[in-house]
Amino acid sequence: MSRLKLTSLLLLLLLIGVGSLFVGASTLSGKQIIDTLLHSGEYDFIVNQYRLPRLLLAIGVGAGLGLSGSLIQGVIRNPLASPDLMGISAGAGLAATSLLVFYAAAPVYLLLLTALSGGLIAAAVILLIAYKTKPTPIRLALIGIAISTFLSSGIDFLIIVNPVEMNTAMVWLTGSLWGRNWTQVPIIWATLSVVLPFAFWLAWRLDVMGLGEDCATSLGIRPSRLQLIALLTAVILASISVAVAGTIAFIGLLAPHLARMLFGHNHKYLIPASALLGALMLIIADTLARGLQPPLELPAGVLTSLIGAPYFIFLLQRYKAW
Partner 1 sequence: MISTENLTVSYGDKTIIQDLNLTLPKGKITALIGPNGCGKSTLLKALARINKASAGQVLLNNQPLQAFADKQLAQQLSLLPQILTTPEGVTVQRLVEYGRSPYISHWGKLNNQDKQLVNQAMLETKVSEFAT
Partner 2 sequence: MPLSIRYILLFVCVFTLLLFSFAYSLIAWSSFPLDLSHISAYLFNFDSQSIEQQILATTRIPRLLVAILIGTNLAVAGVLMQGLTRNPLASPSILGINSGAACFMALASIGINVLGEVSSLVSASVGGLISGALVIFLGGFFSARSNPLKLILAGIAINALLIGITRAAIILADDRAYSVITWLSGSLASMDWQQWQQLWPTSLVGLAIAIYVAKNLNLLALGNEVATSLGINIAFTRFLSCLAIILLTASSVAVVGPIGFVGLIVPHIARRLVSNNYLLLLPISALLGSCLIVWADALSRGIAFPAETPVGVVTALIGAPFFVFLSIRNKAL
Neighbours of 205 (CB within 10 A): 20
3-state secondary structure of 67: helix
- The answer to whether residue 135 forms part of the interface with partner 2 (CB under 8 A) is yes
214 binds, among partner 2, partner 1, none (CB under 5 to 8 A by kind): partner 1
Rounded to whole angstroms, the Cα distance separating 51 from 23 reads: 9
Residue among 23 and 221 whose Cβ is closer to partner 1:
221
Residue ranges in 183-212 that form contacts with partner 1 under rule CB under 8 A? 200-201, 203-205, 207-208, 210-212
Neighbours of 62 (CB within 10 A): 33
Q: Which of 48, 268, 307, 315 is the binder for partner 1 (CB under 8 A)?
A: 268
- The answer to whether residue 305 forms part of the interface with partner 2 (CB under 8 A) is yes
Rounded to whole angstroms, the Cα distance separating 140 from 32 reads: 51
Least distance in angstroms from the C-beta of 78 to partner 1: 13
3-state secondary structure of 293: coil
- The answer to whether residue 219 forms part of the interface with partner 1 (CB under 8 A) is yes
- The answer to whether residue 214 forms part of the interface with partner 1 (CB under 8 A) is yes
37, 168 Cβ separation under 8 angstroms = no
138 binds, among partner 1, partner 2, none (CB under 5 to 8 A by kind): partner 2
Q: Helix and strand tally (H, E) in the chain?
A: 14, 0
Neighbours of 31 (CB within 10 A): 8
49 binds, among partner 1, partner 2, none (CB under 5 to 8 A by kind): none
155, 94 Cβ separation under 8 angstroms = yes
Rounded to whole angstroms, the Cα distance separating 272 from 199 reads: 9
Q: Which of 13, 80, 171, 192 is the binder for partner 2 (CB under 8 A)?
A: 80
Rounded to whole angstroms, the Cα distance separating 118 from 209 reads: 28
Residue among 190 and 215 whose Cβ is closer to partner 1:
215
3-state secondary structure of 33: helix
173 binds, among partner 1, partner 2, none (CB under 5 to 8 A by kind): partner 2
57, 180 Cβ separation under 8 angstroms = yes
- The answer to whether residue 159 forms part of the interface with partner 2 (CB under 8 A) is yes
DSSP symbol at 17: H
Least distance in angstroms from the C-beta of 214 to partner 1: 5
Residue ranges in 194-253 that form contacts with partner 2 under rule CB under 8 A? 249-250
The residue ranges that bind partner 2 (CB under 8 A) are 80, 129, 133, 135, 138-139, 141-143, 145-147, 149-150, 153-154, 156-157, 159-163, 166, 169-170, 173-174, 249-250, 292-293, 296-299, 302-303, 305-306, 308-310, 312-313, 316-317, 319, 322
The residue ranges that bind partner 1 (CB under 8 A) are 200-201, 203-205, 207-208, 210-215, 217-222, 260, 264-266, 268
